[in-house]
Amino acid sequence: MKTRSELEIELATLICQKLEGSIKDHGQASLLVSGGSTPIHLFHLLSTKNIDWNKVTVVPVDDRFLPDGHPDQNGTLIKERLLINNASKANFIPLVVNSTDAQLNLELVENTIAKIVRPFTVVILGMGADGHTASLFPSCKELQLGLNLNNTDSLIITNPTTAPYQRISFTRSALLNTENLYLHCYGEEKKEILDALEVSTEKEYPIKAFINQNNIKPEIFWSK
């Protein structure tokens, strides 16, 4: 079994290969990333890669509805940990541009996100201890809409009852519209969730909706 460090090196190399391939073929690439503590070292590895970052658009897969620069915002983490070194040249699209009006913010960001060429190049999902991914929590009443493949909206507002803050998140249909889908997670607790997916429901563990589907085969990068 690979160590976390070995896994991160492998994943960072693979992601950059996919980004470079898209830049070569299409002149641009997109990278959707998750927040939390898991990707911090991966972000550092990516930031040092010598690719044409000025042709890469980076977007969070979700964020907390907080002012720019707030320490709990995924956008802050991404700017401080990924968009540095060589990756400082990347184009960043935040999911929170108006922290005073969630609905207006949703509309503004939807208009910006619509300009990104689909399918996305790379989407990196994380997973919480409750099986949530992005901001699609088992506890939020918006879960069914967020997971509905017939929902043509790219983004959704969610209100989890088991986690702080109102959120903005990409929908399942938008996240699956990608050329490469990766799940990056660590720990035995997460492995137990992955092992239980066959006998669980998407409502119990929303990550199941991204793993057990036929749109695109996800690659799972897990280590102890």
- Confidence (pTM): 0.97
**Where residue 224 falls among pLDDT bands split at 50, 70, 90?**
very high
Cα separation of 137 and 207, whole Å?
9
119: cis peptide before it, omega within 30°?
yes
Which pLDDT belongs to residue 140? 96
Query: Is 1's pLDDT higher than 90?
Result: no
C-alpha 123, offset from chain centre? 6
Which pLDDT belongs to residue 121? 98
CATH of the domain at 144: 3.40.50.1360
Cα separation of 186 and 212, whole Å?
20
| 150 and 173 Cβ atoms separated by less than 8 Å | yes
Which pLDDT belongs to residue 86? 98
Cα separation of 223 and 28, whole Å?
31
Count of structural domains, the chain: 1
Which amino acid is it at 63?
A: D
Cα separation of 25 and 155, whole Å?
27
| Range of the structural domain that residue 176 is part of | 4-223
For the chain, the average pLDDT equals 97
Q: What share of the chain is helix, strand, coil (3-state, %, to 5)?
A: 40, 20, 45
- Non-local (6+) Cβ contacts of 224 within 8 A are 1, 4, 186, 187, 188
Which amino acid is it at 41?
A: H
183-197 mean pLDDT: 96
| 58 and 98 Cβ atoms separated by less than 8 Å | no
Cα Rg, the chain, nearest whole Å: 16
Q: From residue 205, give the alpha-carbon distance in Å to each of 26, 131, 143, 201.
A: 36, 4, 11, 6
List, for residues 84-136, the tens digit of each pLDDT value. Answer: 999 999 999 999 999 999 999 999 999 999 999 999 999 999 999 999 999 99
List, for residues 54-91, the tens digit of each pLDDT value. Answer: 999 999 999 999 999 999 999 999 999 999 999 999 99
Query: Is 25's pLDDT higher than 90?
Result: yes
193-214 mean pLDDT: 96
**SS3 of residue 219 by DSSP:** strand
67: cis peptide before it, omega within 30°?
no
